[in-house]
Structure 1
Amino acid sequence: MALAVGIDIGGTKVSVGVVDQEGRVVAKSALKTDLTVPPGHMVARIAESVNGMMAEHGWNYVDMMGIGIGAPGPLDPKAGKITCPPNLPSWKDFTLAAELQKRLPCDIRLENDATAATLAEKWLGAARETDHFVYLTISTGIGAGIYLHGKLITGATGNAGDAGHIVVDPAAGQCTCGQYGCWEQVASGTAIARQASELRGKPVTAKQVFELADQGDSEMLALVNKVYRYVGVGCVSLINLLDPDMIVIGGGVSQVGAPLFQAVQQYVSRHALNPSGRETAVVPAVLDQDAGLIGAAALIHREYA
């Protein structure tokens, strides 16, 4: 059985798993992304998790085709390095692939996490039948993967798709990247929690925001509707720029479900410039929270470049 290790590094957690050639996750675990320790310590924990899965299932590294890593950008995929990720500030210029290579005897490929998830949704998910789509993840931050004309579009340095830093509302405050009013500054899970906490004067999570809105809390409902509008604004920008026939949305915020997708679809149908763009389907990711993990493994299993 051909197996690959997938590692999905996020701002709050790291998912680690083993995926077979059919895209089945045959083992997985999760670690908290600990920003209080140097990134090398996190790599040691990741390697320990991989070794633990290998031992538990009786696999040898000769059974592994390789290790794929999806990580937040900006990054340098050719050098296997994370350069300056806003949500992982202590990982600046960290040679992730080389550090992991010291601990695990496999070939390693590194790509942007949203790019990896895009590959997974094309392979097994919502975008199997289209050659023109954008995958959007709304979680700690906002990222996108671009798949057009039957192939991933990764750009000159592998960093295409940093959609979270499209400016959608300059009046909304300064983003961690230094600009004012970035998309993830107003519509990511982190942004939702921050805005709600400011309104209430105490810590409020993004999950609590949606729960309170569902219960009829007018203040939280107004915030949620504003977030939906911001998601729509960003999607219209992507549609006008890239002309996909589908936008697939994943990540933690997408778990709110139908209300988000209905609101964004309605916004797109009214505001996309091209009449055909107004018909762009906005759909949930099929692979849900495993998209990044499967996508990381797909960097090994699938031809994509």
Structure 2
Amino acid sequence: MSAADRHHVVADLGGTTLRIGRIAARGGRVEAVRRTATDGIGRHGLLPARALQDRVVRQLARELAEYLDSPAGRGASAVGVSFAGPLTKDGVVRAGPTLWGGEADPLHIGDLLSARLGLPVLVANDITAAAWRYAETEPEPFCLITISSGIGSKVFRHGEVLVDDDGHGGELGHWRVDPAEDAVPCECGGRGHLGALASGRGILQAARRAASADPGAFARSALGPPAGHRAEDISNEVLAGAVRAGDPLATETLRRSLRPLASAVNCLFTAIGIRRYLFIGGFALAVGDPFVSLLGDELVRLGCFGLDAGEARAMVALGAADDDHCLIGMGRMLDRHSAPVLEESV
């Protein structure tokens, strides 16, 4: 096979959706993407973490094998998997909060998949992979933050993602912002974490609580009719649509949920001077411009040391309006690691 004909199969294992597609080596767009619901905590939340881990890994291996046997995947030179959780430098998965919740055994998922698929497999944290999509288009250091099932982040600076060999770093969603003993629980088992409050799942729960607490406002809200006027039936799609429409209850719920996220951005800026924050993830992109507008409001309210209001607002922006960030970034990581043998990497 000529270099021009080489292609990779890339997968993005998220807390809500597993995506698998094909991407040409040395650039190109993602093609023939298959999407399926992740068989983890989002579907079987009552199962123990180890049982959920087994389900997720079996599903990933099965779906990749089927894709590689299809016309789209046949002949792939390598497989890349972006994973929603921290990994060590050696490719060991340390946790999967949005996939299987609490503690489970460490997992060398690259070795398991390579043995099953018969191809070299590169595994990376999902936001590490996604950051490589923007590495060529962002001239200055930046922080990429996803707002989806959970919250993940990575700082990209001078050609590298800042993370240590044990996978620490970039887990902004597990920064504890509410120290109360009865704070909202996080899927990792902790309480009061940023991801429990400001992720897509966290904001949805906040909207349901707000609707239940104020039935009158809910009755007047654009959230009501699509949910059958049942607070428990509000969905992320309904919530995002109501915010875009300027609904007061939905907008105020989002504003309150974004306050700890604004604090996190302000802390990163003050600590390390990063002035570019790109937001991706299903929920942030579904809300669209109101997401960064409200977040900018909160940054201005907090005050960013040394910046005026316009400069504070200019720090935040949305990423590309698709769900291919991790797939494209994973393709670029595979290109960077092209060699007779690929090694697993964070």
TM-score with structure 2 length normalisation?
0.76
Hey, what does 1:283 align to over in structure 2?
A: 317
Q: Which runs of 5+ in 1 are unaligned?
A: none
Question: Which AA in structure 2 matches 1:14?
Answer: L
Please provide the CA RMSD for this pair: 2.7
Counterparts in 2 of 1:284 and 1:204: CA distance versus 1, 3 Å: same
In the TM superposition, what are the counterparts of 1:190-209 in structure 2 within 5 Å?
Answer: 190-199=201-210, 200=212, 201-209=231-239
Q: In the TM superposition, what is the alpha-carbon distance from 1:97 to its structure 2 partner?
A: 1.5
Instruction: Give the 3-state SS of the residue equivalent to 1:102 in structure 2.
Output: helix
- Does 2:68 align with 1:70? no
Question: What is the match of residue 150 of structure 1?
Answer: 159
List, as ranges, runs of 4+ consecutive aligned residues in structure 1 with deviation greater than 6 Å: none
Q: How far apart are residue 145 of structure 1 and its match? A: 1.2
In the alignment, what sits opposite 2:122? 109
Q: Does 1:139 align with 2:148?
A: yes
The residue that corresponds to 1:30 in the other structure is 35
Per the alignment, in what secondary structure is the counterpart of residue 100 of structure 1? helix
Identify if the C-alpha distance between structure 1 residues 287 and 219 changes in structure 2 by more than 3 Å, giving closer, same or farther.
closer
How far apart are the structure 2 equivalents of 1:279 and 1:208? Answer: 27
Letter in 2 for 1:57: P
Cα distance 1:267–1:222, how it changes in 2: closer, same or farther (>3 A)? closer
Matched, 1:296 2:330: yes
Query: Gapped runs of 5+ residues in structure 2?
Result: 45-50, 213-230, 338-344
Residue 82 of structure 1 aligns to a residue in which SS? coil
- C-alpha separation in 1, matches of 2:314 and 2:306: 10
- Describe the superposition over 1:38-75 as per-residue Cα deviations: whole angstroms up to 9, x where unpaired: 544544443443344444426544x41x2222112233
**Superposed, which structure 2 residues align to 1:1-305 within 5 Å?**
1-20=5-24, 21-35=26-40, 36=44, 38-57=52-71, 60-61=74-75, 63-64=76-77, 66-78=78-90, 80-89=91-100, 92-123=105-136, 128-171=137-180, 172-199=183-210, 200=212, 201-214=231-244, 217-255=247-285, 256-269=287-300, 271-275=303-307, 278=312, 281-286=315-320, 288-302=322-336
Give the secondary-structure state (helix, strand or coil) at the position aligned to 1:81: coil
Structure 1 residues 297 and 159, CA, compared in 2 at 3 Å: closer, same or farther?
farther
Deviation at 1:274, TM superposition (A): 3.1
Contact 1:68–1:298 (CA under 8 A) maintained in structure 2: no
Q: Distance in 2 between matches of 1:205 and 1:99?
A: 36
Alpha carbons of 1:214 and 1:18: their partners in 2 closer, same or farther (altered >3 Å)? closer
Contact 1:187/1:230 (8 A) holds in 2: yes
SS of residue matched to 2:170: coil
CA deviation digits over 1:143-194, x for unaligned, max 9?
0011012322122323320011123333443333454421111110110121
- Conserved 8 A contact 1:39-1:94: no
Q: 1:208 to 1:280 in 2, by over 3 A?
A: same
AA partner of residue 139 (structure 2): T
Aligned 8 A contact 1:121 1:286 in 2: no
Tell me the CA shift for residue 213 of structure 1. 4.1
Counterparts in 2 of 1:58 and 1:286: CA distance versus 1, 3 Å = closer
- Structure 2 Cα separation of the partners of residues 88 and 49 of structure 1: 16
Letter in 2 for 1:253: F
Residues paired across the two proteins, number = 298
Q: Once structures 1 and 2 are overlaid, which stretch shifts more, 176-185 or 22-31?
A: 176-185
- Report if aligned partners of 2:240, 2:283 keep a CA contact under 8 Å in 1: no
Which residue is equivalent to 2:47? none
Task: Give the Cα separation in 1 of the matches to 2:332 and 2:167.
Answer: 16
SS of 2:122's equivalent in the other structure is: strand
Q: Which secondary structure does the structure 1 equivalent of 2:80 belong to?
A: strand
- Quote the Cα distance in structure 2 between the aligned partners of 1:278 and 1:215: 25
Q: Distance in 1 between matches of 2:325 and 2:99?
A: 20
Counterpart code for 1:49:
E
Aligned equivalents of 2:72, 2:15: Cα separation in 1: 31
Residue deviations 1:245-289 (CA, integer Å, cap 9, x gap) = 311100012121111112223433452223387365311112631
Higher alpha-carbon deviation: 257-266 or 43-52: 43-52
Equivalent-residue separation in structure 2 for 1:229 and 1:14 (angstroms): 30
Instruction: State the one-letter code of the partner of 2:328.
Output: I
Rounded to whole Å, the distance in 2 between the matches of 1:244 and 1:2 is 37
Structure 1 residue 34, shift from structure 2 partner: 0.9
Are the equivalent residues in 1 in contact too, given 2:147–2:199 (CA < 8 A)? yes
